[in-house]
Structure 1
Amino acid sequence: MQRIDFDLDREHVELNQLLKLVGIADSGGQGKAIVASGEVTVDGVVELRKTAKIRAGQIVRVGDAEIRVLGVEG
């Protein structure tokens, strides 16, 4: 499994933008399509809201990638 640590520098990031920022999606639109496909889980639960607010401490999984969202303190 590919593990990605994402340092969040604000209160939250929208899910489709997170996928873009870590390189899983080439664009926000592609990120929305990935979320809509049902392939994304947040903290183990399928997330279908494309602009769900992802905060520090959450874990997002897409395929074989796991994204750990870290706060500014890590």
Structure 2
Amino acid sequence: MKDSQTKNKSTGMVFGKINYQLMIASVVVVFIGFILMSGTTDIYSFTKITLAPIVVIAGFALGFVAILKKPKRD
């Protein structure tokens, strides 16, 4: 009986709430970076050449952190 109770407790969500929040923030940051990159006028502007790729890489890094962050166990 105890064995089945511990089994049910351990089969919860893989990630914690903070992990999902960070992942959503990551997707939003990457999306903002791609919006900064879009457009057809002045393709050599600072925003499209420098700022947007930095924002996209920061978004992917945030996603990496969201996956690796261990949720706190109570």
Structure number with higher strand proportion: 1
TM-score scaled by length of structure 1: 0.24
TM-score scaled by length of structure 2: 0.24
- Larger Cα-atom Rg: 2
Structure number with higher helix proportion: 2
